[in-house]
Structure formats: structure tokens, C-alpha cells
């Protein structure tokens, strides 16, 4: 790989790359992020490579292996450019058919995405409701590039923002531009990035300053950072170099959790390629500006996503939060000034610089500019990563993009912000998604997890689930966080088992408020949110668990009974399915469940084809 | 020097002074369990919380770790503080009821009920012992392990550390069961906190799972001396 010695070199390389490509040649784009690979993308890649070679199609059809395109429900999926045909849930046989069709210049109609309402095939991906309702500024880059080929990134305009910054040669301009864009930290708290950078640039420290990319994404059900790292690692690197130029930082650290092997692999490759091309390290693009980034892997603690704990972890110490102030910007890693930003924040930086702050500020609402990626999971039809402008309503995300409920159960609530977030009921789905509205509603933006819950979800159980997570993941330093989460779990467990009393709710609420008040770090201060928000919006469910000893969602095992109704045809399927032998009955006669033996596993209900098993 | 207001009283203190030190200087009592002069502030017990800021931005912070800031308004005994402190004490009492220090604090704060399931732990993980060991005794023989509910204190791999000089500093500072092993005269080792009727270490099997890094402990050695 040649080393680029000037900005002109970079532009010349870009021109060469673009002119070397014939845009009329169709490209098969296979999504192979972790989600894609898990659902079989590797097989598709293998079969495609083999067929292209065997049928001598290599010059006629291009193949690009990219990160996740967002529509995870439909993995493994294939996109054919430049036509924009989208083939979801493709099998190996399907892949062969697609290759055949592409070679002939046709469309494999029967394999295209079919509209779930009308059943009609949608020819262009941009017409699919899931994609149509999004504004994809970060995510659309993921499908344009092969993450392990820096040439792809440069060809599609990568590092042009860096070139712009270096050509301007003014560090203050970078900060002003980021400030003017109104970009707020995408990690959850929403602190204005420009302000943070300004603070860092003002710090004088002879020993250097740090920039950190926080990629310790640990919320259950959230994976937008992983997808960006896997699919477009160079955007993070470019963002950090620009940040370093603006703030005068000398060292960069990307802190990735070790549970993201693919992201780590792609990052290592990207860092090496950027260094070899002269875009990272000493004397970047011959301008004399130097900045290097190293990778630090997390050791598996959720709390290390908290910035002070993250810094301790980078230092090699136990990941425990410390008191702020002093803030990381004043005293960070090894006592040196440090600015920490989330993956998505860094990914937005090149977008802002390349497109201009004004353009960026126009997206979204005032005070909440730009787009935000959410991972939409749970009881929803279109699970996946969605990118919408800030200020979009929950309703838009869930119904327009997400396609509404899956099955016939109604959606009841959405949980945002991971374990530290809260549940928002349907009545408040008109809420616009921005930092301030969500906090007011008792939840948080968090890094962008969105778990959709329907009537089959028990809110006490949800609170219990998150409290179980938090009592394990609290670092344990603050007594109130450690014991508070344990005690909240204990009370919730009692309530879910029908052992709660009328005092339980009061005690739970009182304790939750104290935990929120008296802990040191962000984890503890928000740890009570799952309890407080479910109490705020679903108190009746708690009361029902305590007073009538009932779980209306049919989740809390101690409070439900399984019984067989008259719809039973006597097919014996449930008898065979029951692991405890609790169901008795003869062929074509009504079956009976022995309540003594029943362990409430729900196996009978899931196998019954006649809806004859009731849960009450 | 920074000037701040504690319960509306103006006080000027050196840069880097904590709110706890400033409040103590003025004579305002703030209960603590994990704080000790000579050891770095840690902020684990959360008993020393005070309220800072005004209006909706008011918040509770641990006074032992929060540095004094120019013009800061601090309330050491507002309703919010008292309520939080009582709940912390209730949690402490539910965890470690045998500690004389915690009992006394609970009584002093007028705590009349304990609504959680009773536990009998020996340790509140305040970290005084590890800091004592590391900072004053320069030994680093013990430390924290694990996180969340599995967090515990001990030596690496639970083997007696070669760094340990049996100085007893860790026990001396322990607020949870400080009295257990600190006296070597049998009658005085009757610990009010634990309500043990005999020197605890003499009945070893009963206390096998308790945290004791003295091997053999002072009381046991004393008994051996008396006998032999």
C-alpha cells in the first residue's frame, strides 16, 4: 500500500479509484455483520464466490461483503446494486437463483421482499416501508463499503472530511463547526460534543491529552455501535483524527468490549491500513500533524461503559467509577485531560465536517440535531437498526419503520435506554425522541436500545429482569447501588411470586428514589429507572400482582395456572410435550393438567394447535 | 482558597478540601463509615451524602469525595439528605445488624424500623481495610474482587498473602465488626456488636466463614500463651 504524502495524493487516489470502477456493472452486496453471519451470510458468500468463478462471471458481476444494513429480521439478505433489488432471508439455492438472474440482467421476482400487507413484491429496496421512513446518514455508509478495504472507504468519499480540515489548517474552526452543528453525545447523556472538545482544547498539559472512543456497548438488546464498528471502522478513525486536530489531543484509545470479536478484527485491520496509508500516526498526509490510536479491549464489565470506570479500565485498574469532579476533561487517563465520546458521536463527525455544520443542524429539531440510530427489538415485526432524525415520535419508529406488532397481541410499551432506561406506555407514543423529552418521561435516550413489549409482557417481570442485570453488573462500590439493586430485586421477586404486601410498593418506591439520589455514577443514578418508570405507568399491574395475585400477561409462574378448555380435540400432542408428565388424557377426549405436577413451562401451550390451553 | 456556604454559613477553605472536611471545620456533624483521615476518600458507604445546588439542579453527593467549589451552597441536613441517610442506615442495618457502630448510628438517626429481609453479613465493603493495608501499611495484601452482589474482600486466590505482616490494621479500622478481634483479653473480647459470649476466634468452627486475616489471631495466641 502506497503511503499518501499529501492531501493531493489522497484526492488523486480517490479519482483513480472512482475512474477504475464501471458503475454499470452490477454488484451483489452481502450483509455479513455479526447478525448476518449468524443467520448464514458466510454460506452465501462462499456460494457466490464459487459460482462467480465457476461461471466466469467475475468481470461481469462484482461482489461486496459489507457490515449490517439494518434490517436484521431479514438476514441473511442481499442487495443488488445499482438496481436496489433487495432479497431477504436468502437460502443457498436462492442465492444461486439471484446470481443467475443478475447475470442475465433480470430480477428474481419470487425472491424479492414481499409487502407483509399486500404480499406484493417490492422491486426497489428504497420503497420498502422499513427503509422508506428512515433518514440514513450513518447507516447507508455501511452498505457502500467493505470494512476491510480502505480503498472502498476512500472511493466513497472517506477521509475527505479529514482532508478538508487539514487543508483549512485551523483547529478552532473544527470545534466551531462541531459546536454549530449542535451535535450532542450519542452515548446517552447528550452533552454537547463541541463544548466538550472546547474544554479539552483549553486544557494545557505537557504530557499530552487523550481522546477516547467508548465502544463498550453493554445494554441488553442494543447493538448499533457494534454494527457501525463492524461495518465502517474508518469513519470512527477519521472522526477521532479530526477531533484530535481540533482539540490538540495526542493519543487516541478505542475501548471495545471483548464480546465484539468481529468489530475488533475490523478495527485492527482498519487501524493498520490507515497507518500504512499515512492517514494515521506520524506526519498525517504530510502536514506534520501526528496522532495515533490504540485499541483497548474491555474485560466484560457493564459498568466500564461509564466514563470514569472506563478510564480506570484503560489504566489497567479495576473498573470502578470515581467522583466527578474532577471531570475527565480536567483529569482523565493517568491524570491527563481526556475527552470520551461514543462510537456514534465519532461516526457523525466526518458527516458534519464533510457536509457542513449547517446542513447537519437542519436535520432533527432545535437542540437535538442530526439523526440517531436505534436498535429496534422485541415484539415487533421489523427488528433491526433504524436511523431517524431526532425528534421523530416513538409512534413513527414503531409503526412506520417497525411495522407494528408481530402476531395478534397489542403493543403495550417500549423500553428505551437499556437497563438504565424506562418503559414508556402506548399512551405516550406521541413523545418525540430526544434527550430532554425522554428524560421527562422517566426514561433516558441511552445509547439507543428500544425494546418493544406487547400484552404478553409482564411489567413486574421486566423490572425484575433489569434489576437482576443491574445487581450483577453494579460495580459494588457504592453501598446503595450494590445493596439497593439487590433489595429492589428481592422485593420485585416477592411481588412476582405473589408474596408482596401493600407495603412492598411503597418500600420499593422509597428505596428506588434513594438509590437514584445517593449513588456516585450514572449506572447507580439511573438504576432505579426500570422500577420507577414501570411504577409510574403500570402501577395497576403491581397492585394486581399483590392484591389479586394475578399476572395478566401470564408470565409470573407462581401466579398463573395452565388449564385445558373445551376446544381440546384430544390430539395427545400436549401429553407428549409435557416434560413432567402432568397431562393425562386419551385420544379424542378432553385432556387434563395435574396442577400438582405442572411446572408452568408453557410447553403444552406452545404445541397446541387449537388454542385449547388457557393461562389464567 | 475557595469560599462556599454550608448551611448558609460562609467558609473559606484550601483548594482541594472536601465538603466533609469543610463541614467538620464548621462543626456540622456528618456520619461516615468509609472515611478516615489519612486514607484517600473512597465514597463507598454513601452515609455522608449532602445536598448541593439549587432548585431542580439540586442533587446529593458524597461529601467525603466532593471537592469544595467556589460559591457552592451545601446543605448537610436537609429533608432530602435526612431521608436518604435513614434509608442507607436501614439498608446497613438489614445487612450488618451486629455492628455496634451501625447500631449506634441508626439509633442516633432515630431509625425505628428495618423493613428488609434480615441478613447477617460481616462486611459492608467500605474499603477501609484495603486502603489501610495499601496506603498506611504499604502491603496491598487484600483487595476487592468481583463486582455487584459477588463483590468481596480478600487475598488473591484466598491464600494468605505473603505481603501480610499480620499488623491487624485492617481489623482496627473495620466498622462492621471492629470489636470482634481487637481485644486480646477474653472478657473484653465479648463483643457488644456481635453479641458473642466468648472470644469469637476460640470457637473457630462457628466463625470459619468470617473474614479474619489473622492466622492465628491475637485472641487465639493469647489463649495459647495463657495455657502454656
Measured CA to CA, the distance from residue A318 to residue B123 in angstroms comes to 20
Instruction: Compute the average pLDDT of residues A484-512.
Output: 96
**Average pLDDT, whole number, for chain A?**
94
* Residue after which a domain boundary falls, among B108, B142, B159: B108
pLDDT band with cut points at 50, 70 and 90 for residue B205? low
- Average pLDDT of A332-359? 96
Residue B182: pLDDT over 50 = no
| Length of chain B as a residue count | 228
| Mutation target vs B (from A317, A318, A482, A519; most B CBs, 10 A cutoff) | A482
DSSP string, A208-236: --EEEEEE----TT--HHHHHHHH-HHHH
Residue B76 has pLDDT above 50, yes or no: yes
Which of the four pLDDT bands, split at 50, 70 and 90, describes residue B184?
A: very low
**Within a domain: B116:** no
Q: What is d(CA A589, CA A570) in angstroms, rounded to the nearest whole number?
A: 5
Q: Give ipTM to 2 decimals.
A: 0.91
CATH class of A459-548: mainly alpha
Bond prior to B216 in cis (omega within 30° of 0): yes
- In a shared domain, residues B72 and B157: no
Closest chain B CA to residue A483: B91
Neighboring chain A residues of B116 at a CB cutoff of 8 Å: 487, 490, 507
C-alpha cell, A237? 478513525
Same domain for B221 and B146, yes or no, is yes
Q: Which stretch of A450-459, B74-83, B96-105 has the lowest confidence by average pLDDT? A: B96-105
- What is the SS3 assignment for A137-197? CCHHHHHHCCCCCHHHHHHCCCCHHHHHHHHHCCHHHHHHHHHHHCCECCCCCCCEHHHHH
Pair A458, A498: CB distance under 8 Å: no
| Through-space distance between the first and last CA atoms of chain B, rounded to whole angstroms | 61
pLDDT at residue A114, as a whole number: 93
Closest CA to A265 of A33, A31, A447, A70: A33
Q: Are residues B103 and B148 in the same domain?
A: no
Tell me, what's the pLDDT at B155? 84
B95 in a structural domain: yes
**What CATH number belongs to A150-361?**
3.40.50.11540
pLDDT surpasses 60 at B180: no
Q: Which comes out higher in pLDDT, residue B162 or B83?
A: B83
Q: Do residues A242 and A162 touch, judged by C-beta distance below 8 A?
A: yes
Q: What residue spans define the domains of chain A?
A: 24-81+85-123, 150-361, 365-454, 459-548, 561-615
φ/ψ of residue A384, rounded to 5: 155, -170
Whether residue B164 sits in one domain with residue B100: no
Answer whether residue B178 is part of any domain: yes
Compare B172 and B182 and report the one with higher pLDDT.
B172
Grid-cell match 446470481, residue found: A99
Q: Which pLDDT tens digit goes with each residue over A139-196?
A: 999 999 999 999 999 999 999 999 999 999 999 999 999 999 999 999 888 999 999 9
Domain span including residue B67? 2-108
Q: Is the pLDDT of residue B27 over 80?
A: yes
Q: For A506, which residue in chain B has the nearest alpha carbon?
A: B115
pLDDT tens digits, one per residue of B159-172: 878 888 877 788 77
DSSP H/E element including A384: strand A384-389
pLDDT, average across residues A124-151: 94
Statement: residue B202 has pLDDT above 90: no
**Residue B28 located in a structural domain:** yes
| A224-233, A418-427, B74-83: least confident range | A418-427
Single residue among B108, B143, B164 that ends a domain in this structure: B108
Q: Are strands A449-454 and A62-66 parallel, antiparallel or unpaired?
A: unpaired
Higher pLDDT, A605 or B219: A605
CATH of the domain at B76: 3.10.20.740
Q: Is B120 on the interface with A (CB under 8 A)?
A: no
Mutate to test the interface with B, among A305, A479, A495 (most CBs of B within 10 A): A479
Q: Provide the CATH number for the domain formed by A365-454 in this structure.
A: 3.10.20.600
Per-residue pLDDT at A164: 96
pLDDT confidence tier of residue B223, bands split at 50, 70 and 90: low
Shortest Cα distance from A468 to chain B (angstroms)? 10
Choose the weakest-confidence range: A169-183, A212-226, A474-488, B191-205: B191-205
Q: Does the residue B121 lie in any domain?
A: no
Task: Determine the residue among A323, A470, A484 to mutate to test chain B binding: the one whose Cβ has the most chain B Cβ atoms within 10 Å.
Answer: A323
Fold adopted by A561-615:
Alpha-Beta Plaits (3.30.70)
Which residues does chain B have within 8 Å of residue A517's beta carbon, measured at their own beta carbons?
Answer: 49, 59-60, 80, 84
A560-611 pLDDT per residue, tens: 999 999 999 999 999 999 999 999 988 888 999 999 999 999 899 999 999 8
Note whether B45 contacts A519, CB cutoff 8 Å.
no
CA-based nearest residue in chain A for residue B48: A518
Residue B98, domain member (yes or no): yes
Please judge whether B148 and A485 are an interchain contact, meaning their C-beta atoms are less than 8 angstroms apart: yes
Helix-strand-coil percent breakdown of chain A, rounded to 5?
A: 45, 15, 40
Task: State residue B210's pLDDT score.
Answer: 45
Q: What is the mean pLDDT of residues A237-265?
A: 97
pLDDT at site B228: 60
Mean pLDDT of A286-306: 95
Give the residue numbers in A contacting B (CB under 8 Å), as ranges: 301, 303, 318-319, 322-323, 325-326, 470-480, 482-487, 490, 503, 507, 510-511, 514, 517-520
Q: Domain A24-81+85-123 adopts which CATH fold?
A: Glutaredoxin (3.40.30)
CATH number where B171 lies: 3.30.70
B143 and B177 part of one domain: yes
Helices B79-95 and A479-496, packing angle to 10 deg? 70
- Which residue has 421489523 as its cell numbers? A382
Q: What is the mean pLDDT of residues A499-514?
A: 96
Q: Which residue of A has its CA nearest to B146?
A: A475
List, edge to edge, every strand of the sheet that includes A27-31: A62-66, A27-31, A78-81, A85-87
Helices A224-231/A261-276 angle, 10° precision: 40
Q: How far apart are CA A167 and CA A30, in angstroms?
A: 36
Strand, coil or helix: what is B106?
helix
Contact (Cβ atoms closer than 8 angstroms) between residue A564 and residue A590: yes
**Residue pair A215/A258 in contact by the 8 Å Cβ criterion:** no
- B76 shares its domain with B146: no
Last residue of a domain, one of B77, B108, B139: B108
* Model pLDDT, residue B189: 41
**How many independent structural domains does chain B possess?**
2
What is residue B176's predicted lDDT score, i.e. its pLDDT?
80
Same domain as B178, residue B85? no
Please indicate whether the domains covering A365-454 and A459-548 agree at the CATH topology level. Answer: no
pLDDT band (50, 70, 90) for residue B183: very low
Amino acid at each position: 500500500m502506497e503511503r499518501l504524502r499529501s492531501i493531493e495524493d489522497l484526492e488523486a487516489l480517490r479519482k483513480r479509484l472512482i475512474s477504475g470502477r464501471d458503475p454499470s456493472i452490477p454488484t451483489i452486496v452481502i450483509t455479513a455483520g455479526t447478525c448476518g453471519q449468524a443467520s448464514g451470510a458466510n454460506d452465501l458468500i462462499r456460494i457466490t464466490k464459487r459460482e462467480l468463478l465457476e461461471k466466469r462471471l467475475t468481470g461481469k458481476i462484482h461482489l461486496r461483503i459489507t457490515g449490517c444494513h439494518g434490517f436484521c429480521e431479514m438476514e441473511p439478505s442481499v442487495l443488488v446494486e445499482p438496481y436496489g433489488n433487495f432479497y431477504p432471508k436468502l437460502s443457498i439455492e436462492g442465492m444461486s437463483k439471484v446470481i443467475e438472474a443478475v447475470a442475465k440482467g433480470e430480477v428474481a421476482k419470487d425472491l424479492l421482499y414481499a409487502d407483509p400487507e399486500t404480499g406484493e413484491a417490492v422491486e426497489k429496496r428504497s420503497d420498502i416501508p422499513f427503509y422508506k421512513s428512515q433518514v440514513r446518514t450513518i447507516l447507508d455508509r455501511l452498505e457502500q463499503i467493505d470494512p476491510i478495504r480502505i480503498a472502498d472507504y476512500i472511493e466513497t468519499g472517506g477521509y475527505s472530511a479529514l482532508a478538508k480540515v487539514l487543508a483549512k489548517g485551523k483547529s478552532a474552526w473544527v470545534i466551531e463547526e462541531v459546536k454549530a452543528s449542535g451535535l450532542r453525545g450519542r452515548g446517552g447523556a447528550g452533552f454537547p460534543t463541541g463544548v466538550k472538545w472546547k474544554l479539552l482544547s483549553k486544557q494545557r498539559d505537557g504530557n499530552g491529552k487523550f481522546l477516547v472512543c467508548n465502544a463498550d456497548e453493554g445494554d441488553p438488546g442494543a447493538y448499533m455501535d457494534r454494527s457501525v464498528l463492524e461495518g465502517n471502522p474508518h469513519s470512527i478513525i477519521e472522526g477521532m483524527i479530526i477531533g484530535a486536530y481540533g482539540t490538540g489531543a495526542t493519543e487516541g484509545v478505542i475501548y471495545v468490549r471483548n464480546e465484539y470479536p468481529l468489530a475488533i478484527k475490523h478495527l485492527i485491520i482498519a487501524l493498520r491500513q490507515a497507518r500504512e496509508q499515512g492517514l494515521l500516526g506520524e506526519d498525517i498526509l504530510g502536514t506534520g500533524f501526528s496522532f495515533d490510536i490504540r485499541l483497548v479491549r474491555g474485560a466484560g464489565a457493564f459498568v466500564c461503559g461509564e466514563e470514569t470506570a472506563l478510564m480506570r479500565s484503560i489504566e489497567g485498574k479495576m473498573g470502578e467509577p470515581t467522583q466527578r469532579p474532577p471531570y475527565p476533561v480536567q483529569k482523565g487517563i493517568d491524570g491527563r485531560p481526556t475527552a470520551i465520546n461514543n462510537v456514534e458521536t465519532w461516526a457523525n463527525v466526518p458527516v458534519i465536517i464533510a457536509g457542513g455544520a449547517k446542513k447537519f443542524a437542519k436535520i432533527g429539531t432545535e437542540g437535538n440535531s442530526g439523526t440517531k440510530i436505534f436498535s429496534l427489538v422485541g415484539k415487533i415485526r421489523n427488528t433491526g437498526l433504524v436511523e431517524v432524525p431526532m425528534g421523530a415520535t416513538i409512534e413513527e419508529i414503531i409503526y412506520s419503520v417497525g411495522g407494528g406488532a408481530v402476531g395478534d397481541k397489542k403493543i403495550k410499551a417500549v423500553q428505551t435506554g437499556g437497563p438504565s432506561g424506562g418503559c414508556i406506555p402506548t399512551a405516550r407514543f406521541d413523545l418525540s425522541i430526544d434527550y430532554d423529552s425522554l428524560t421527562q418521561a422517566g426514561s433516558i435516550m441511552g445509547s439507543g436500545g428500544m425494546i418493544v413489549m406487547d400484552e404478553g409482557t409482564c411489567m413486574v417481570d421486566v423490572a425484575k429482569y433489569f434489576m437482576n442485570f443491574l445487581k450483577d453488573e453494579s460495580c459494588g462500590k457504592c453501598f446503595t447501588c450494590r445493596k439497593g439493586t439487590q433489595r429492589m430485586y428481592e422485593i420485585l421477586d416477592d411481588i412476582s411470586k405473589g408474596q408482596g404486601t401493600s407495603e412492598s410498593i411503597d418500600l420499593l418506591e422509597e428505596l428506588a428514589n434513594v438509590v437514584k439520589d445517593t449513588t456516585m455514577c450514572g449506572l447507580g443514578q439511573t438504576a432505579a429507572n426500570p422500577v420507577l418508570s414501570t411504577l409510574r405507568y403500570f402501577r395497576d399491574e403491581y397492585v394486581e400482582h399483590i392484591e389479586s395475585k394475578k399476572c395478566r400477561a401470564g408470565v409470573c409462574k407462581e401466579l398463573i395456572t395452565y388449564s385445558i378448555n373445551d376446544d381440546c380435540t384430544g390430539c395427545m400432542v400436549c401429553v407428549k410435550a409435557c416434560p413432567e408428565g402432568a397431562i393425562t388424557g386419551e385420544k379424542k377426549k378432553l385432556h387434563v393438567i395435574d396442577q400438582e405436577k405442572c411446572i408452568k413451562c408453557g410447553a403444552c401451550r406452545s404445541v397446541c394447535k387449537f388454542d385449547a390451553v388457557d393461562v389464567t | 482558597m475557595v469560599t462556599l456556604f454550608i448551611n448558609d454559613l460562609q467558609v473559606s477553605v484550601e483548594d482541594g478540601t472536601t465538603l466533609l472536611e469543610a463541614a467538620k471545620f464548621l462543626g456540622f456533624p456528618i456520619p461516615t463509615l468509609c472515611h478516615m483521615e489519612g486514607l484517600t476518600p473512597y465514597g463507598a458507604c454513601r452515609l455522608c451524602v449532602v445536598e448541593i445546588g439549587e432548585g431542580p439542579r439540586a442533587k446529593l453527593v458524597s461529601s467525603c469525595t466532593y471537592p469544595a467549589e467556589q460559591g457552592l451552597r451545601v446543605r448537610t441536613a436537609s429533608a432530602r439528605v435526612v431521608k436518604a441517610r435513614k434509608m442507607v442506615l436501614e439498608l446497613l442495618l438489614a445487612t450488618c445488624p451486629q455492628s455496634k457502630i451501625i447500631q449506634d448510628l441508626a439509633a442516633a438517626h432515630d431509625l425505628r424500623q428495618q423493613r428488609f429481609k434480615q441478613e447477617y453479613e460481616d462486611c459492608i465493603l467500605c474499603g477501609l481495610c484495603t486502603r489501610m493495608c495499601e496506603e498506611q501499611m504499604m502491603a496491598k495484601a487484600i483487595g476487592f474482587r468481583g463486582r455487584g452482589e459477588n463483590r468481596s474482600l480478600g487475598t488473591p486466590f484466598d491464600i494468605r498473602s505473603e505481603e501480610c505482616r499480620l499488623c491487624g490494621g485492617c481489623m482496627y479500622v473495620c466498622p462492621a465488626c471492629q470489636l470482634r478481634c481487637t481485644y486480646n483479653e477474653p472478657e473484653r473480647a465479648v463483643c457488644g456488636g456481635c453479641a458473642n459470649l466468648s472470644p469469637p476466634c476460640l470457637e473457630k468452627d462457628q466463625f470459619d466463614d468470617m473474614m479474619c486475616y489473622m492466622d492465628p489471631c491475637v485472641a487465639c495466641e493469647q489463649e495459647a500463651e495463657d495455657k502454656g
